[in-house]
Amino acid sequence: MSRIDRYLLAQLLSVFAFFTLVLVAVYWVNRAARLFDAIVGDGQSFWVFLELSALTLPNVFRVVLPLSAFAAAVYVAIRMTRDNEMVVLHGTGQSYARLLRPVAVFGLIVALMLGVLMHVLSPMSRAQLAERQVAIASNISARLLRAGEFLQPTDGIVVFIRAIDDDGTLQDVFLSDARTDGRRVEYNAASALLVTGTESAVLIMRDGVALVFTEADARLTTISFDELTYDVGALIAPNIRQADVRELPTSALIGTNTQSLAALGVSLAELRFELASRVAQPLLAVVTALVGFTALFLGQFSRLGAWRQVLAAIFILAVLQLLANATAGIALRRADAAALAFAPVVAGFAVVAVMVWWSTRRRGRA
């Protein structure tokens, strides 16, 4: 690699690191704000929020890295054009295709990062995140043990706890059960204890009264009790997590047979397209970097800036994304069409080749 290649590659990597940090921070803060409301507002601790936020980071990097590669390529190309470095390089006999070599190397470096994310980190984090979300949704204590609030853990159930002592005793408990049509039961207890097990949870209420109202005969029955056990485990339906092909490691995708597909509830088309996508999507980082850098070749230097070329590059990426969405719909329905995952990559390289040819031809005429 020549000195010019090393210089250009260093410029691209440094700017890429900056844009990655900025975009990850913006994207993560936006998602973390919504996650914070959902997690902490549901009675979970701040540490749970940090854990789930960390598990979303691999997917955030997967989305951000191609965008950062594009932004870095555009920024470096604009700066080199503005500082007349591009003119000097052309004056030394450097062709447009020659200038793209360090950009392609830069894109391959980003593609390797994406490959690690797509094949290893992202499936692991998705699986772990899904498991934690199921565990949190099944955490009865966090959903019920909140003092001073009327809680509705499920339809037809309202719970209110005035205070919770340090030893876990619940003071002045109110529970309304209206799940049965035409019948409502309300429990008022001076104190209670929530006893949880591995598969169930019961609320032991003490010194209270149960009011049973039947709509059919408009009868209200009052029952006093010294101690009453209420199965609160039935309040929250068990969370049966559906299998997601994106959570499976690449080795599992390659070794999955027909019986395994039936057990997972995943179609052969979904499995093949996911496997092809994990190879194709990292290559899109090379395409985005080349498109961003090559687009600056299309126009002459202007004091108004290179906004037209940048808009053209953004338009090209938008078209490639539309192509990716269209081909994904087909590939997910047909198992023999998984190769369509590479359609945006092939189209992107073709567009880059056309732009280089056009720029070279115009330069030759000049």
The residue type found at 39 is I
Report yes or no: 70 and 111 within 8 Å, Cβ to Cβ: no
In our burial notation (b when 16+ CB lie closer than 10 A, e otherwise), range 104-126 reads ebbbbbbbebbbebbbebbbebb
**CA nearest 25: which of 67, 70, 76, 64?**
64
pLDDT at 332 over 90: no
Question: Which H or E element spans position 177?
Answer: strand 170-177
Q: How many CB atoms lie within 10 A of CB 70?
A: 28
pLDDT at 347 over 80: yes
Which of the 8 DSSP states describes residue 195?
E
* 205-257 residue pLDDT tens: 999 999 998 888 888 889 899 998 888 766 655 555 566 778 887 877 786 66
Which range, 151-155, 187-191, 263-267, is most confident?
Answer: 187-191
Is the pTM higher than 0.85? The answer reads no
pLDDT at 301: 47
Our CA angle for 297, 299, 305, nearest 5°, is 110
Residue spans of the domains in the chain: they are 3-138+242-365, 145-235
pLDDT above 70 as % of the chain: 81
CA 311 to chain centre: 27
Distance CA 118, CA 283 (A): 12
Specify the length of the chain in residues.
366
* 37-83 residue pLDDT tens: 656 555 566 677 777 778 888 888 998 999 999 999 999 988 888 87
CA 32 to chain centre: 11
Q: How many CA atoms lie within 13 Å of 190's alpha carbon, on the beta-carbon side?
A: 7
pLDDT at 269: 84
Q: Report the interhelical angle of 46-82 vs 307-331 (nearest 10°).
A: 130
Distance CA 231, CA 200 (A): 8
Lowest mean pLDDT among 15-29, 125-139, 265-279, 306-320: 125-139
pLDDT at 318: 93
* 126-184 residue pLDDT tens: 888 877 766 665 555 555 667 788 887 777 888 898 888 877 788 899 999 888 888 88
Average pLDDT value for the chain: 82
